[in-house]
Amino acid sequence: MSGSLAEVRLARGDASVDDEHDPEGPTLSSEWSRIAGVTGELENRSHSVDAALGRIDAGRYGVCVRCGEPIGFERLDARPFAELCIRCARLG
């Protein structure tokens, strides 16, 4: 994916590149938005995983960071990087 992002960045910086580069495909602007969104989500996920690894190292994995209660197995199975129990997550 980094190759695609680099290609879109290069093309986006080139004022002579027509936004409608492929009449049957997506525009460069829409590709840029899509790739930037995916990249942002991957960065967020990476941060969440790093935080979960830190909680493992600290012996606090599986414990809600807000109320200190255990996070249910089902929640951790679905979201291994969860830092809030269901009750606290619902409270927002």
Extents of the domains making up the chain: 1-60, 62-92
pTM for the model stands at 0.61
Rounded-to-10 torsion of CA 32, 38, 42, 43: 40
The C-alpha atoms of residue 75 and residue 81 are separated, in whole angstroms, by: 9
Helical pair 28-57 and 2-13, crossing angle rounded to 10 deg: 140
Residue 26: its pLDDT value, please?
A: 73
Structure tokens at 37: 């969104």
Residue 71: its pLDDT value, please?
A: 98
Residue 55 CB-density burial (10 A; 0-12 exposed, 13-18 middle, 19+ buried): middle
Residue 27: its pLDDT value, please?
A: 78
Residue 11: its pLDDT value, please?
A: 63
Per-residue pLDDT of the chain (92 residues; tens, 9 = 90+): 556 666 666 666 654 455 555 666 777 788 888 898 999 899 999 999 999 999 999 999 999 999 999 999 999 999 999 999 999 999 98
